[in-house]
């Protein structure tokens, strides 16, 4: 096992999809959970579009803000490259420049439902043996573990004592209904 790294959950910048399911633009409108506004013609967002937009991602059932560009510079990204979550990208497909969207994405179409089997107990000795020397493990730390394929996977430290640590390997947004508000500024 390689070295473990701890990061604050707020420092994690990339959010990877657990369950890549999403509905198409027409299905969203049919479900009645989308509001769009803006011009109806012109170039439309495709699955590989390079676009500039403002967006806000928040918890649909609370006040939790995940990310927003509305108060700052807009984001420029290419769809289909992992820069934005695939289900959230899917909500943008079919929009034209100047159009806005406000949609609620259900957990099974975003980051999946919470899986209790992904809450795991790890012996404290494993953390001490493979972690950074002198690491001060605190609940809420995001710890990256080496995967057999050479990659890494991350878990949030929930509790820790002298003999064991409990990690939650669910995505932090698993089980959450998300609200995506976006305005397409330009499609390149």
* Cα 188 to Cα 186: distance, rounded to the nearest angstrom: 6
* Cα 178 to Cα 103: distance, rounded to the nearest angstrom: 8
Q: How confident is the prediction along the chain (188 residues), in pLDDT tens digits per residue? A: 454 544 433 333 222 222 222 333 434 433 444 555 555 567 899 999 999 999 999 999 887 899 999 999 999 999 999 888 888 899 999 999 999 999 999 998 888 999 999 999 999 988 888 788 888 889 999 988 888 898 888 999 999 999 999 999 999 899 999 999 999 999 98
pTM of the predicted model as reported, rounded to 2 decimal places: 0.68
What tokens does 11 get? 């420092």
The DSSP symbol for 44 reads B
Domains by residue range for the chain, with CATH:
5-10+114-168 (2.40.10.330), 13-112+174-187 (3.10.50.40)
């Amino acid at each position: 096992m390689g070295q473990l790294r701890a990061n604050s959950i707020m420092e994690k910048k990339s959010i990877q999809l657990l369950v890549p399911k999403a509905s198409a633009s027409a299905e969203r409108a049919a479900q009645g959970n989308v509001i769009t506004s803006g011009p109806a013609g012109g170039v439309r967002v495709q699955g590989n579009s390079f676009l500039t937009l403002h967006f806000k991602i928040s918890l649909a059932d609370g006040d939790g803000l995940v990310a927003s560009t509305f108060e700052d510079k807009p984001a420029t990204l290419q769809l289909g490259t992992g820069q934005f979550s695939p289900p959230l990208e899917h909500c943008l497909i079919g929009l034209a420049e100047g159009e806005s969207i406000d949609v609620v994405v259900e957990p099974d179409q975003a980051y999946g439902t919470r899986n209790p089997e992904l809450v795991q107990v790890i012996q404290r000795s494993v953390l001490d043996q493979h972690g950074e020397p002198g690491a001060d493990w605190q609940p809420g730390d995001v710890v990256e573990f080496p995967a057999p394929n050479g990659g890494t996977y991350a878990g949030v430290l929930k509790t820790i004592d002298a003999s064991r640590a409990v990690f939650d390997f669910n995505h932090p947004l698993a089980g959450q209904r998300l609200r995506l508000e976006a305005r397409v500024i330009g499609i390149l």
